[in-house]
Amino acid sequence: MSQTVSPSISVPPKQEGLSDVELRQVSKYFDREAAVKDINLEIREGEFFSILGPSGCGKTTTLRLIAGFEQPTKGAVYIQRQDMSRVPAHRRSVNTVFQSYALFDHMTVRDNIAFGLRIKRMGRSQLKQRVTDALRLVKMEDFANRRPQQLSGGQRQRVALARALVNRPAVMLLDEPLGALDLKLRKQMQVELSNLHRQLGITFVMVTHDQEEALCLSDRIAVMKDGDIEQVGTPSEIYDHPTTPFVADFIGDTNLLKGEVSFADSKMLQVKTLEGTTILVSRPNDMPQSLRTAVVSVRPEKIRLSQAPLGNKGNCYSGYVKHVMYLGTHIHCMVQLQSGECLTVLEPNRTEHSLELETPVYVSWRPDDCLALAA
């Protein structure tokens, strides 16, 4: 993407500390079924914010509430500090980009982008300049006279972005914007979407079920489950410091081991699993004193494999290799402990390191490399 933003697409400078979107105690019911349950959410000006969760968790409903396509059963939606309760979708300073692109097949690329401006009865010369600037922004100038069916998936997605941006929205809403693309093209578009956000400086709100996509694009992420927001934080906070077992399991891969807290002091916890494995966990400052049952989360990449024990300062257990998958840069394997528990391990693919089924191994990790979460 070009590093220069056309004046026709640029937006006023943001005032630091203000929010562009705010949901206050918002609920949405469909036939007495709660799709969104009393959520509070604040999205800051200029940030790339993602709403992440499995199918049916309420993330798309939340986006539609912001867009105005749905009205909350309870609570209020604010955009740029203004209550949207009586503001219809077409009068809100937002534009939505859908997974299906929603382009008009009988129109050229140029006409698709100009459609919204023509509805607003914009003057011809201003309209032409705005469309030209939008085409340049998404690098589609050479395709202006083609029709959508003559474009690739990535090109159609760029046209959909240009059509939304040409209206100068305060907030860009992205509903699974890259979901219809193949993996390689999806990666390319992630880079372009990130560059576009950085160039424009406007607020992006994206709904996705793709954890990797949310982690690599977002300034902050809200993880949803069953209509509730489980956690809001930066990608590193969500991945390295999940606050619930669901977030730990949903964001990337992890091993979850449930057990009873058998010992605790100011620095360390000792959790004994149902199978009898004793795990040492560094105690975070905010952990409640009354915690009795915990779920220990340890990421596969934090676990080391060895042919012999690696000392006695951490967690070290014997077992054997049950399954191996070669992933090119890494080796993904399953190790069954002597206790019967199975752990997923992700090892760098080193040529001198060979793993075969039923090979006896030791797995180990430091107490700092795992988390104890309330069960």
Q: Please choose, from the candidates 296, 290, 331, 293, the residue with its C-alpha nearest in 3D space to the C-alpha of residue 317.
A: 296
Annotated domain spans of the chain: 19-240, 253-374
As a whole number of angstroms, the distance between CA 60 and CA 44 comes to: 19
pLDDT at 3 over 50: no
pLDDT of residue 7: 37
pLDDT at 9 over 50: no
Domain spanning 19-240 has what CATH number? 3.40.50.300
In this prediction, residues 158-187 reach a mean pLDDT of 85
Stronger pLDDT, 285 or 370, i.e. the higher one: 370
User: Could you please report the per-residue DSSP string of 57-104?
Assistant: SSHHHHHHHHHTSS--SEEEEEETTEE-TT--GGGSSEEEEETT----
What's the pLDDT tens digit per position in 268-299? Answer: 899 999 899 999 999 877 777 777 899 999 99
CA dihedral 304, 308, 314, 319 (to 10 degrees): 70
The model's confidence at residue 312, banded by pLDDT at 50, 70 and 90, is low
Q: Is 226 left (phi over 0), alpha (psi -120 to 50) or beta?
A: left
Give mean pLDDT, residues 102-123: 88
90 Rama class: left (phi>0) / alpha (psi -120 to 50) / beta: alpha
Number of other residues whose CB lies within 10 A of the CB of residue 46: 20
* pTM listed for this prediction: 0.85
**Any idea what the Cα angle at residue 129 is, between residues 127 and 135, rounded to 5°?**
100
The third-level CATH classification (topology) of the domain covering 253-374 is OB fold (Dihydrolipoamide Acetyltransferase, E2P) (2.40.50)
**pLDDT attached to residue 119:** 84
**Residue pair 310/304 in contact by the 8 Å Cβ criterion:** yes
Model pLDDT for residues 52-73, shown as the tens digit of each residue: 999 999 999 999 999 999 999 9
Task: Over range 121-129, report the average pLDDT.
Answer: 88
234, 236, 237, 238 alpha-carbon torsion, rounded to 10°: 90
Cα separation, 138 vs 101, in Å, equals 15
Closest CA to 300 of 249, 244, 373: 249
Judged by average pLDDT, the poorest of 135-149, 177-191, 223-237, 267-281 is 177-191
- For the cut 90, the answer to whether the pLDDT of residue 94 exceeds it is yes
Instruction: Spell out the residues 6+ positions from residue 198 whose beta carbon is closer than 8 angstroms to its own.
Output: none
Which has the minimum average pLDDT: 190-194, 317-321, 344-348?
190-194
Predicted local confidence at residue 351, as pLDDT: 52
19-240 matches 253-374 in fold: no
Residue 313 has pLDDT above 60, yes or no: yes
pLDDT over 90 (residue 117): no
pLDDT value at 310 more than 90: no
Q: How confident is the model at residue 179 (pLDDT cuts 50, 70, 90)?
A: confident
pLDDT tens, residue by residue, 196-230: 898 888 999 999 988 989 999 999 999 999 999 99
Q: Please give the biggest Cα pair distance in the chain.
A: 76
